Amino acid sequence: MTTVLDVQRFKDEHRRFAMVTAYDYLSARILDEAGIPILLVGDSLGMVMLGYPTTLQVTLDEMIHHSKAVARGSRQALLVGDLPFMSYQASIEQAITSAGRFLQEGGMHAVKLEGGGPHAVEITRRLTELGIPVMSHLGLTPQSIHQMGGFKVQGKSQAQAARILADAKELEEAGAFSLVLEGVPSELGTRVTQALHIPTIGIGAGAGTDGQVLVYHDLLGLTTGKAPKFVKRYANLAEDIGNAVQRFARDVASGEFPGPENSYSANGAAPAKSPAAPASIEERQEVKYGAG
């Protein structure tokens, strides 16, 4: 199984690595079997899976619900649960309780939290002391969307870049085992990566970070609308699914589906094209929905 020590080794051995979001059992299983070393149950699931307008609406209970499903689907990957908005900001005690739930109930191995500054640094220190590994997240931090005035690239000015670099060093010093850098100029992504001992994982942070993360649905083209610039689509599943279900509906309308090969008979012989007899109890018990 991938551990936080392996993730540090990736950096030490200059091995670039991928992290992908997972929100459910099946995606976790596919990603795990494909050898993706880190799965992030990101709060982006609020927008991608639940249709919320931002990540701010996602609750800790929703995150735990999805984490449990991901944990059931994964055997090899390091699992990171994303602390949602207002599950760690109120106090250190709240952060400890929320992070503890991710490990105890959700089956995660580590948590991620957004932002720098004294509160985030203190949470990182305390969680690390308690044996809960922390992945930090700087740059474009979607939980602060209203303060940033939208999904805007961060760290463009010298002062902002210096702030991000200083925050990154403080979080590392507090014990973070890795750092997500989102939506920053490539030069800053490289600069922060070179300044830290812990690995950085970029999303819209250029090619100079130690790892890269993408949202599962984005990289598979399982979305509607235009993808952001930092996304590379490796498949076009939304279109494929649309075409597949249209073909299914056409086959139903024309009587092409179900054919004899999709039908049961009372005596085990493939029935003729006419509608199938009701399945026997034995046959019904064999029926399985979805992957086993």
Token pair for 266:
């009372």
CB 276 within 8 A of CB 262: no
140 binds ligand KIV (CB under 6 A): no
Whether 287 contacts 279, CB under 8 Å: yes
Whether 172 is catalytic? no
Q: Decide: is 213 part of the binding site for ligand KIV (CB under 6 A).
A: yes
**Residue of 44, 124, 143, 154 that binds ligand KIV (CB under 6 A):** 44
71 binds ligand KIV (CB under 6 A): no
Q: Which of 10, 25, 39, 43 binds ligand KIV (CB under 6 A)?
A: 43
The answer to whether 183 touches 201, Cβ cutoff 8 Å, is: no
For residue 134, the cross-strand partners are 111
Question: Rounded to an integer, what distance in angstroms lies between the CA atom of residue 266 and that of residue 278?
Answer: 7
Q: How far apart, in whole angstroms, are the C-alpha atoms of residue 258 and residue 275?
A: 9
Q: Is 81 near ligand KIV (CB under 6 A)? A: no
Q: How far is CA 126 from the centre of its chain?
A: 25
Give 75's DSSP letter: S
Of residues 52 and 264, the one with the C-beta less far from ligand KIV: 52
Nearer to ligand KIV, 127 or 203 (CB): 203
Of residues 215, 219, 220, 222, which one binds ligand KIV by CB under 6 A? 215
Binding mask 108-127 for ligand KIV (x = CB under 6 A): --------------------
Smallest separation (angstroms) from ligand KIV to the CB of 51: 15
Give me the half-sphere count of Cα atoms (radius 13 Å) on the Cβ side of residue 206.
15
Phi then psi for residue 269, to 5 deg, are -75, 150
Question: Shortest approach of ligand KIV to residue 256 CB, angstroms?
Answer: 41
Residue 200 touches ligand KIV, criterion: CB under 6 A: no
Using CB under 6 A as the criterion, which residues of the chain lie in contact with ligand KIV when the complex forms?
Answer: 21, 40, 42-44, 82, 180, 182, 203, 213, 215
Which residue numbers are catalytic?
182
